[in-house]
Amino acid sequence: MSSIIQRLMKFGVDVNRILTPRTRGPKATKVHQGHLLDAALAVFAREGLRGASIRAIAREAGCDPSMLYYHFQGKEGMFEALLERSIGPVVTELLALKDPKDPRSVAERLWGVICIYHRHLGESEGLRGLLRGEIIRGAEGIRESITKRVFPALGAISDLIRFGIERGDIRPDTAPLFATFFLARMELEILDLIPVLGPRVAGIPADQALPMAERAWFRLFWRGIATRPEEPLPFLNES
């Protein structure tokens, strides 16, 4: 059976090399940056932030860990790029809520904060972790990079709340920064936990629990800051 191989080896032939040929060099489907970022998100979704090692991402992408260093400058640079792609749109949409030409009420626009978070961050626990400033081993500098992006967006929401105070929709003793913090931060917690806790603790199916909790949260929040808390919030009953 293996006598042929043994004879070949005797003549100095690198048998290993023939049986498992090396595969270096460009593939038919080149590994581009977006593919690696997709892989990172997939690892996030499957193994959480703690699973976000370079090796795990490369495994997911079906390539060698070195590819990460070819396309980005290290792990840090890769997450920087991931942020640009993932959190960039969130920040843009949040900033747009401040637009004075927006015809919607302040309440509905604040509800928009929750909708935007839900839409962009509902799927990836890892992305929420990043946004929340959690730390990834080997990419500790990411934290500051995120706050630099997110703070202006939160500032826009604060401005929106100030606008609501001026218009008389929101109680004047509301602290805009705190209220912004409460609104946005709680939505992150809801997205993280309610899909797990809802079925387990309250027996609500996961897909129903999330919207229920979000609506419950916004009703509580708005009632907590509104000048006229009894006014109905019709936009909550849509979709």
Partner DNA sequence: AAAAAATTTCAACGAATGATGAAATTTGCC
Partner DNA sequence: GGCAAATTTCATCATTCGTTGAAATTTTTT
Binding residues for a copy of itself restricted to 56-95, rule: CB under 8 A: none
Residue linked to tokens 């080149």: 30
Strand partners for 170: 226
Judged by beta carbon distances under 5 to 8 A according to partner kind, the member of DNA, a copy of itself, none in contact with residue 21 is: DNA
CA angle 94, 165, 89 (to 5 degrees): 0
Amino acid identity for residue 86 in this structure: S
Report residue 56 CA to chain centroid gap.
18
Residue 11-40 contact track with DNA, rule CB under 7 A, x = bound: ----------xxxxxxxxxxx---------
**Gap between the Cα atoms of 207 and 60, Å rounded:** 27
**Gap between the Cα atoms of 192 and 51, Å rounded:** 17
**Gap between the Cα atoms of 221 and 130, Å rounded:** 25
Taking the complex as a whole, how short is the minimal distance between the CB of residue 88 and DNA, in angstroms?
A: 22
Residues 6 or more apart in contact with residue 148 via CB below 8 angstroms: none
Pick from 79, 91, 151: nearest CA to 117: 91
The answer to the question of residue 151 lying near a copy of itself (CB under 8 A) is yes
Residue 146-165 contact track with DNA, rule CB under 7 A, x = bound: --------------------
Nearer to DNA, 1 or 28 (CB): 28
Dihedral sign of CA atoms 191, 184, 109, 83 in order? negative
Amino acid identity for residue 230 in this structure: E
The answer to the question of residue 56 lying near DNA (CB under 7 A) is yes
Residue 103-142 contact track with a copy of itself, rule CB under 8 A, x = bound: --------------------------------x-x-----
Size of residue set near DNA by CB under 7 A? 31
Nearer to DNA, 41 or 179 (CB): 41
**Gap between the Cα atoms of 105 and 49, Å rounded:** 37
Binding residues for a copy of itself restricted to 187-226, rule: CB under 8 A: 189, 193-194, 197, 201-202, 212-213, 216-217, 219-225
Taking the complex as a whole, how short is the minimal distance between the CB of residue 93 and a copy of itself, in angstroms?
A: 21
43 near 56, Cβ under 8 Å?
Answer: yes
The answer to the question of residue 138 lying near DNA (CB under 7 A) is yes
Taking the complex as a whole, how short is the minimal distance between the CB of residue 44 and DNA, in angstroms?
A: 13
- Residues at the interface with a copy of itself (CB under 8 A): 48, 50, 135, 137, 151, 174-175, 177-179, 181-182, 185-186, 189, 193-194, 197, 201-202, 212-213, 216-217, 219-225, 229
